Structure 1
Amino acid sequence: MMTSFLKEYNIELKTVGPVFIGGGKIINKKEAIFRKASVIIIDIEKMFNYLCKKRLLDKYQDYMLDDRMDLATFLKNNNIDEKVYREWNAKELSLGDTKSTSNGDVKSKGISGFVRDGNGRVYVPGSSLKGMLRTILTGAYIIKNTGCGVAKKLDYCKQKLGNRPYKSNLEKAYKATMDDIEVQLFHKNLFSDPEGKNKLENKINDSLRGFMVSDSEYISDEDMCICQKVDVRLDGKENTLPLYRECIKPGVTIRFSITVDSTFCDYDKKSIIEAIGLFYNDSYWTKVSKQFKNVAPVINDRYTCFLGGGAGFESKTIIYPSFDRSKAVDFTSDILSVLFPDVSHNADKEVSPRVVKCTYYKNNKYLFGACILDKFSDPEEF
Structure 2
Amino acid sequence: MKKLTYTKFKLSLVTVGPVHIGSGKTYNQKEYIFEDGYYYFPDLTILYKKLLSNQTKRLAFEKFLSSTKKERLTSFLNNIKFADRDLGGYKIKATGYESSKNFGQLNDISQFIRNGLNEVYIPGSSLKGALRTILVNEHFKTNNVNWGDADDIFNELRVSDSEPISTERLILARKWDYSIKKEVANELPILREAIKPLTIINFEITTTSERAKTLVLNLTKYANQFYNRYKTKFLEEFPNKYQQENIWYPLYLGSGSGLWTKVDYYHVKIDEIKRRTPRRMKMKRNGALKLTKSKPIKYALTTKDGREEKVLIKNKEHLYEMGKCGFKIKEV
Fold shared, TM-score > 0.5 on shorter chain: yes
Change (3 A) 1:210 1:290: closer
Structure 2 distance, partners of 1:5, 1:78, is 64
* 1:369 lines up with 2:323 in the alignment: yes
Q: Give 1 or 2: higher helix fraction.
A: 1
Structure 1 residue 369: Cα displacement: 0.8
Alpha-carbon displacement from aligned partner over 1:90-110 (angstroms, at most 9, x marks no partner):
4111335133579xx9733x2
Identify the residue that residue 87 of structure 2 maps to in structure 1: 88
Give ranges in structure 2 of 5+ residues lacking alignment: 296-316
Deviations 1:282-330 (A, max 9, x none): 11x34443321256334345721111111111111121xx38xxxx8xx
Cα gap change, 1:36 to 1:289, in 2 (>3 Å): farther
Equivalent runs, 1:1-382 vs 2, <5 Å? 5-35=5-35, 37-55=37-55, 56-64=57-65, 65=67, 67-81=69-83, 84-85=84-85, 87-96=86-95, 97-99=97-99, 107-108=106-107, 110-141=108-139, 150=142, 178=143, 181-183=144-146, 203-234=149-180, 235-262=182-209, 265-267=212-214, 269-283=216-230, 285-293=231-239, 296-300=242-246, 303-319=249-265, 322=266, 331-346=269-284, 351-353=285-287, 355-362=288-295, 364-373=318-327, 375-377=328-330, 379-380=331-332
Structure with greater strand percent: 2
CA distance in 1, matches of 2:160, 2:271: 35
1:72-131 residue CA offsets vs partner (Å, 9 max, x unmatched): 1111112222xx21x1114111335133579xx9733x2111111111111111111111
Where 2:71 maps in the other structure, the secondary structure is coil
Q: Contact (CA 8 Å) 1:106, 1:242: kept in 2 or not? A: no
Query: Contact 1:100–1:106 at 8 Å: present in 2 too?
Result: no
> TM (normalized to structure 2)?
0.82
Count of aligned pairs between the two proteins? 304
C-alpha distance in structure 2 between counterparts of 1:38 and 1:46, whole Å: 19
Aligned counterparts of 2:139 and 2:211: Cα–Cα separation in 1: 17
Question: Structure 1 residues 70 and 252, CA, compared in 2 at 3 Å: closer, same or farther?
Answer: same
Q: 1:68 to 1:341 in 2, by over 3 A?
A: closer
Please tell me the residue identity of whatever aligns with 1:41: F
Compared CA separation, residues 364 and 141, structure 1 to 2 (3 A): same
Deviation at 1:269, TM superposition (A): 4.9
The 2-side partners of 1:8 and 1:318 are apart by: 28
Compute the RMSD of aligned alpha carbons: 2.7
Percent identical residues: 29
Unaligned runs of 5+ residues in structure 1 are: 144-149, 151-177, 188-201
